[in-house]
Structure 1
Amino acid sequence: MIRRFGESPEPGRKYIRRAGVYALLPLSGSLLLTCQTEPGPDLQLPGGGIDPGESPLPALHREVYEETGWQIASPRRVGAFRRFVYMPEYDLWAEKICLIYCARPVRRLGPPTDAIHEPVWLGADEAAQMLGNAGDRHFARHYFMGTL
């Protein structure tokens, strides 16, 4: 069973299951995050949905690059969680299955290719408090506590 963070599913509402990959990207005591600027500012672990026919690791590399402009190395899965949310960019209610990885940011290749994302570096404590959803905060906190 995968731990749930956030709101319980609403009875009678249809949710589309959407698997995604997200990364803890530590470097020199900070985390590389992304701020999604639309529909409103939201600080997130970089990542996103796994496309049909795509495997999790290629999706992770693609999503991190699209949202931060960085290349990553040595990803390892550290956990998973789910949450039930409305996704306005897709106009759908989703049961998001969030696969969490830890990877090393190795090189900035350029700006994010996704125009609504901006890379942000935050210290451990600040990131664990400011990330926009409870699941991301949980994994950031446990990473820096050394309990992952």
Structure 2
Amino acid sequence: MIPRIGDVPLRGQPYRLRPGAYAVLERDGRILLTFQSAPIPEYQLPGGGIDPGESPLPALHREVYEETGWHIARPRRMGVFRRFVYMPDYDIFAEKICHVYRARPVLRHGPPLEPGHSAAWLPLDRAIAAVGNDGDREFLIRLGLNAG
């Protein structure tokens, strides 16, 4: 069973299943996050939806590049969680299945390709406080616990 992190689903509300791949990216004691300015400004782990017919790892590489401009190497699975959210940019209620990987950012190729996104490097403690959802926060906390 995949653990739920965050809000419980609304009773009677149908949710569309949305699998995604997300990255915890650490370099020199800082975490690479994406800042999404709209529809709700928030910091997030870089990543996003897995397209139909796509596997999680190619999706992870594609999404990190689109949202940060960085290429990554050596992704290793940290875990998975699910969360129930309304996605205003798609006007859907979604059950997001979030596959989380730890990877190494290796080369910046330019600014993010995705409109409204910017890359931000934050110290781990600030990244934990800044991310906009409890699932992202949980995996950043795990990173800190494993580092000590």
TM-score range, shorter chain: over 0.9
| Helix, strand or coil at the partner of 2:74 | strand
User: Which residue number corresponds to residue 143 of structure 1?
Assistant: 143
User: Which residue number corresponds to residue 14 of structure 1?
Assistant: 14
Superposition deviation, residue 90 in structure 1? 0.7
In the alignment, the residues of structure 2 paired with residue 117 and residue 95 of structure 1 have an alpha-carbon distance, to the nearest angstrom, of 23
Code of the aligned partner of 1:9: P
* Structural mapping, 1:94-105, within 5 Å: 94-105=94-105
Offset from partner CA, 1:78-119 (integer Å, 9 cap, x none): 101100000011110000000000000000000100011100
User: Which residue number corresponds to residue 45 of structure 1?
Assistant: 45
In the alignment, the residues of structure 2 paired with residue 23 and residue 146 of structure 1 have an alpha-carbon distance, to the nearest angstrom, of 16
* C-alpha RMSD of matched pairs (Å): 0.8
1:30 aligns with 2:40: no
1:124 aligns with 2:124: yes
| Helix, strand or coil at the partner of 1:5 | coil
Question: Percent sequence identity over matched residues?
Answer: 59
Superposition deviation, residue 146 in structure 1? 0.3
1:108 aligns with 2:91: no
Superposition deviation, residue 40 in structure 1? 2.2
TM-score by length of 1: 0.97
User: Which residue number corresponds to residue 90 of structure 1?
Assistant: 90
In the alignment, the residues of structure 1 paired with residue 141 and residue 110 of structure 2 have an alpha-carbon distance, to the nearest angstrom, of 28
Offset from partner CA, 1:13-42 (integer Å, 9 cap, x none): 000010000000000001000001111211
Offset from partner CA, 1:28-63 (integer Å, 9 cap, x none): 001000001111211000000000011110000000
TM-score by length of 2: 0.97
Task: Between 8-17 and 138-147, report the one with greater CA deviation.
Answer: 138-147
Runs of 4+ in structure 1 off by over 2 angstroms are none
In the alignment, the residues of structure 2 paired with residue 2 and residue 125 of structure 1 have an alpha-carbon distance, to the nearest angstrom, of 26
